[in-house]
A = this chain, B = another copy of it.
Amino acid sequence: MITVYLAEDQSMLNSALTQIIELEDDLTVVGSAKDGQAASAEIMRLKPDVAILDIEMPKQTGLDVADQIHQAQIETKVIILTTFAQKAYFERAVAASVSGYLLKDSPSDQLISAIRDVVQGLTRFDPELVINMVSAAHNPLTAREQSVLVEAVTGGTTHEISERLHLSDGTVRNYLSAIFSKLGVRGRLEAIQVAKENKWI
């Protein structure tokens, strides 16, 4: 019998998936959580064969949980189950040696078969990820530019941003100007939009 742990904060999906996993004769759900912290603690204790982790969860993300499982060197295989095929998430997941990465935009029987696959030592990555890996635009912003833009998101004045970052006003404006030109936009508002769309900040 394959033991499965499910961490998913949306109750409707959590309970629905639990039920359909239980329908399979060789699978059983030994526990589930609606936040990352609870999931983490329980997985360490229960050591299930497979942990299915949503990324966006309260308290701790599924990727944080995956890291901890990896570092604790327990046998549990991890399948990330999330909505978006984002390069950055996927990279972190790979770094945490997850066995699977599925999108919620695929049917539930995919998940069932993925569970069986990963206990066999196989890996299962959604094909859409491959497309995103090659097509995703590279972040043109330097680390400092990113941090300036992140501060700009909250909306204070240039002066407030410069204080938070311990820079001069002029420097902040220089950075912002450089960011606008790199992103091909004409103001903070547009820059923030573009950067968010591309998950650069």
Interface residues of A (CB under 8 A from B): 10-17, 19-20, 23, 81, 83, 103-109, 111, 152-157, 185-190, 192-193
| Cβ distance A18 to chain B, nearest Cβ, rounded Å | 9
Dominant SS among interface residues on chain A? helix
**CB closest chain-B residue, reference A185:** B155
Given contact pairs A155-B187, A155-B190, A192-B189, A105 touches B16 in the complex (Cβ within 8 A): no
Measured in the bound complex, the distance between the Cα atoms of B83 and A181 in whole Å is: 38
Which of B104, B155, B189, B192 contacts A13, CB < 8 Å?
B104
Measured in the bound complex, the distance between the Cα atoms of B11 and A103 in whole Å is: 9
| Cβ distance A173 to chain B, nearest Cβ, rounded Å | 15
**CB closest chain-B residue, reference A193:** B155
**CB closest chain-B residue, reference A13:** B13
Which of B16, B109, B186, B190 contacts A17, CB < 8 Å?
B16
Set of chain B residues within 8 Å of A108, measured between Cβ atoms: 11-12, 15-16, 19
Measured in the bound complex, the distance between the Cα atoms of B161 and A186 in whole Å is: 14
Which of B19, B156, B187, B188 contacts A23, CB < 8 Å?
B19
